[in-house]
Structure 1
Amino acid sequence: GSLLPLALKGRLRHGRHFTFMSALNDTAVTLVSTSVNGSIADENHPFAAHGPWLQVLLTDDFIEEMIVDTEELVHPDEIMCPKTYSWPERRLMITILPDEV
């Protein structure tokens, strides 16, 4: 869970992207900021897939909102997992599972 705040603050807030790769197969989810060139996700299609690779476009205001909403993940030992964060107006939900899962 502590990777999400790092990705948001250290990569996406600075106009970059961050990819979560599956350890089990070739599935990947990339969070993409609006300034990333070559992304298949865009403002008209914020969720875009190419085979097993999903890109999710996060606007600057949404990145800031997510940073605030997930602040508790900076101290992952203090939260009860699974923990779900939901942004229905953005059609996005993220669930943090315990490390042993």
Structure 2
Amino acid sequence: MSFGTSDIKQKPRKRKRIPWAQLLKRTFKIDVLKCDKCGGRMKLVAVVFDPPTIATTLRALGLPVRAPPIAPARSRQLLDCSNSNDWTGVDVDYGWPD
């Protein structure tokens, strides 16, 4: 009797879907579904894709319709540490145990 891979039937594994709110809570430690006013649970009731509807809704909420401008890049001099091997006086504490 031979048992090849074709003899064994495997059940397809279901992909576990984690809700977006739970992922945000796990990653950023914020509960996006908690109401700031009463602390109750909020429920997603609609997703809007229509740009004019989005703009109207944002205006009604007193929020900006356009994203803020992109800030200029930082100075290359601030970012370039490759030429410096002198780290004396630099005290970095990562909180790691000794």
> What TM bracket, shorter-length normalisation?
under 0.3
Q: TM-score, normalising length from structure 1? A: 0.26
- Structure with the greater alpha carbon radius of gyration: 2
In proportion to residue count, which structure has more helix?
1
Q: Which has the higher contact order (CA 8 A, sep 6+)?
A: 1
Taking structure 2 as the reference length, what is the TM-score of the superposition? 0.27
